Structure 1
Amino acid sequence: MSVTAVLSVNMVTASMLLSVFFVSGALADCPKDSGLFITAPQKMEALSGSCLLIPCTFRAKPEQEFDNSREIFGVWIKNDSRFVKNVILNSIQDSPPSPRIEISGDLKEKESVSITCSAFTPCPHSPPKLTWNLQQDSHNKIQENTDGTFTTKIQKTITLSDQHDGYNITCSVTYPVNEGKHVKTAEQRKTLSVSYLPRDTSVVISPTGPVSVGSLVNLTCSCRGNPPPVHFVWFKMSDSRLMLISADTKVYSFRVSNSDRDRLFFCGCRNDLDFELSTGRQLIFEDDQKSELVGIQVIVKILGIMMLINSPLSPRIEISGDLKEKESVSITCSAFTPCPHSPPKLTWNLQQDSHNKIQENTDGTFTTKIQKTITLSDQQDGYNITCSVTYPVNEGKHVKTAEQRKTLSVSYAPKDTSVSISPSGLVSAGSWVILTCSSRAKPPVSRFTWFKISKDGPMTVSEGPFYSVNVTDVEDYYYCVATNDLDSPPSPRIKISGDLKEKESVSITCSAFTPCPHSPPKLTWNLQQDSHNKIQENTDGTFTTKLQKTITLSDQQDGYNITCSVTYPVNEGKHVKTAEQRKTLSVSYAPKDTSVSISPSGLVSAGSWVNLTCSSRAKPPVSRFTWFKISKDGPMTVSEGPFYSVIVTDVEDYYCVATNDLGNQTSSVIHLGEGEELTVYGPTRKTEEEEEGNIYYGEIDFSKRRPEPSPSSVQDSGQQQDTLYAQIQVSKTANSLTQTAECPEDIYAQVKKK
């Protein structure tokens, strides 16, 4: 027989914290003929003015019958000369304890971490209230601990970015005291330190004004990152050639020469995670009115750029999958590959002679990878994955190496559960022994349950890691069961049959193990409400509960998270146990939202260069961008790649086509001439009345007309598009009259479709 008693303590002293101590088996000093044995926590905390719940379990000796027909009551003793060894309340401290903030996960950008704030809860029927700056109206959850005490928690999962670095998490706890008439508060703070690759890399020119030949100029490379960037490299571009001018210096100083006119300066910034290149900057000369900022991001393939900075970047280890035992995860180690015809070599301790694979990225750079899929067990928890990269340099005469490590944190159900007995020697009938249940688990064991094998089968006798037994002449058998959050019902299984491509129909099934078909589990998911659960008998005589739905895929389903939950009735339906499974759809689709942008978008002059950029989203990524110019003979191919540079000369129409393995899509036509949101100037066709050197400004009148047909090879799989064309009307600046131009002028413009 086991009974739990509760003591509510209300103290009147303000701002006091009481530490409460108990002795396990607190009636050790009671008369020898005492028929009960008591178990209580060794130590508790209490807040003055608040109630205190003290869990206390007492039971009869095995050889005695407990008469529960009589009134049952407990006596709590604070001071009694007969019980000198039992000190119940002492060690007074000030103020309530601060809440505790814990973060589980790797503090790196793009990683998901779980943040928990918890507070000691002396009185669960009048619990504290937790609030924090991560979320308003957070749900407070009260959790019972293995020793019978309680904790209040709030929790949130976030995906980290560089914006979280330095963010202060503030968690406050408010305790009601004096029957809710007053409150006491405490607060805790924790600052996030999130690792992220370099950001906002730029060149700062000093002095900021115009420069003259022979003057001294300082260029400073500015960037941010965590860990802070410590390696810098400088380049200059002239006549379309990129040259290294300095390495490992944040500030580059030089005296200006005539050759520095129209020259672009770049800096690269690196930390342990990655490298970023700035946009180009130009100097302003005293006799020059050009802008010092070149707003075109120059994309360059720099062979061996990482080798120019002391040591190569460390490889990157990524793990995809749920880090739980019996789950399969894919582990990848990748390395930047500046020179694909002389690539680095990756090795690791997961596999000897791993196959190195070189992959071209969407921006035209390359990455070398090795990969392995493993099924996790508790033996992998704490395992250190080590990946090394070796770069050949100086035409293979020497090498440079770098290394990365990552430790696996694998969750698993209780293992090696065992019982030990104390004292371990010979014991006599009538003496007491303590049984201890031990187990290893991750997360730690949340509940220990003790069972005694009786003639009617196993019966629960106690909970907690310790159990005290009075030895009798009769042989008794005991065992314990260790439980954690993973020792729960098995997660349902989500299966997708079909080809995960847009416009394809697939069948999605969620199934759950069904041990008891006459009391089956209940499946629910976010694909459909009120889904019909179907119980199916398997070939081996077992049963499975299923629900199913067929959908036709589109690009909008890519990245969609399917969530399926199962609820099992237990204890004859009095309670339930639940489990959940998630699966993310990865849908392949042809290019979408293909568009063209123009840079610089501000004031440009005739004869200057502009960059056209073709962008599109696709899965797999776009493998080819093709540029077309609409001529009098129809569309003609002019370039390939995501960028195309054009010199402002004639009014012309351009478009791009994005292609991947599944299809292609054509952008709207961009009309280069005077355009919307762009003030453009340049020479116009002159008349006899106009003086040489006058400048005329364009006034845009937009109208729609049917686009000229494009060749079938570049059509967007039947998709129709509207193209905006500009009708250019030219007028003198000194004259408000509008005159229609007789022919297109050599002015560039960007026309945006509304």
Structure 2
Amino acid sequence: MAGTLTFLLISSLLQGALCGTFNVTMPQNINVLRGSCVTIPCSFDVESKFENNLDDTCKACWSDSTSFKSENAKLKPTKEMTGDLTKKDCTTTFNNANLLKSTKYYLRLECDNTLKYTFTKAGVDISFIDDPPLPTLTPSTLEVEEGASVSLTCSAPAPCWSHPPALTWSPNLGQSQETLQENQDKTKVRTSVMSFTASHLHHGNKISCTAVYQKQDGSPDVTAEASLTPDISYSPKNITVSVRPSGPVPENSNVSLTCSTNANPAVRNYTWYRADGDQETFIGTGTSLNIKVFRDRRTFFCKAGNEIGDGRSSSIQIDVQYSPKNITVSVSPSGPVPENSNVSLTCSTNANPAVWNYTWYRADGDQETFIGTGTSLNIKVSRDRRTFFCKAENEIGVGRSSSIQIDVQYSPENITVSVSPSGPVPENSNVSLTCSSNANPAVWNYTWYRADGDQETFIGTGTSLNIQCLQRQTDIFL
């Protein structure tokens, strides 16, 4: 990772020389967060003849002067603060950075033998800062299509290896994994990789990574944040239809439908459909559409498409209001009923809003007689009062059913006999007798009789009867 991206702001080149001679490798520059600890990565080499002098008696000292000895060294780290000098590791951690000042420091190696050397050809410039630099996000911009797998990397310098910064993601969109990585110059950075699947919900919403640095001098923690705003391409989502005017509208009214959606890139095509049961009928294009609505054509939806894909809205049903239609009367019991029976009449209709008033009438020729109210009506029927209809009324208007005639049945009544020729006839003349009657159902049997005093003699059947009149055969009845 580039030195300019680290908290230590270290130059990209390290100081050092070939093995076999006295040389030291360390960063040229380190910016130290005030009140925090700091680790100086350091390694060295000695002349070959001093290799055997590297033992447990060796000590590392730091000073801002090239001409110093251990006696006048300003910084004398303990063994716990340094690496293993016998392995040429002079890495030093200062838990109390207040011991340092903004200047250049040099390393001196002193052992309880002939090995004593100040590395004057290379030093580290120490500078103090009050605020940490921003973490680094990789990639710095995010432009992907919905459904793509995304990995974001957040890196923050770890100036003190024992107390690296804590990294948090906001929002936390998936699994994250943290590591402590080493740069080319041996400095370290804290890295967190968050992996997730891109969603349209992420589009335009800031994703940030925050580094929290804990100070060792007891002062409050300090934070630094880096963020990006993802650009997620996705097909139309949350497609809705709005109607103007809103609320109920009268049948045959003109309304305006508007299709709304979220999409990236923008929608390039809107299409409109009318839902007729299971059928979908194309009716137009455009963000908005003006239409005339009917009670049986009031369900609509739209489709929206962009370069990524298409989406469809839910169906919207417009509240189309109309006066009562298709008004019918049903009778219970159905079919023929005896005269003077009780029957129940029921009025049915389609209406929006619902019918609030039903009225019943009996049709007496050209006269209409009001007989009651309500959806159903119980009445007694007779053969001359058997035709009925109903009216249904809502806020929009009134409608009337067709008249229904109940089949009222009754036995033969008003039975009469007519003679042809009428008037007096000569003895032994032939005459025709005709029987007439009112009945429902129709008469299916006529029988004729001659009355002989108290005697009744059967003489024939049928609506009409031809007989010869004798002087003593004058009384005929049906």
- TM-score, with normalisation over the residues of structure 2? 0.48
Higher relative strand content: 2
The structure with the largest alpha-carbon Rg is 2
> Relative contact order: is structure 1 or structure 2 higher (C-alpha 8 Å, sep ≥ 6)?
2
**What TM-score, normalized to structure 1?**
0.32
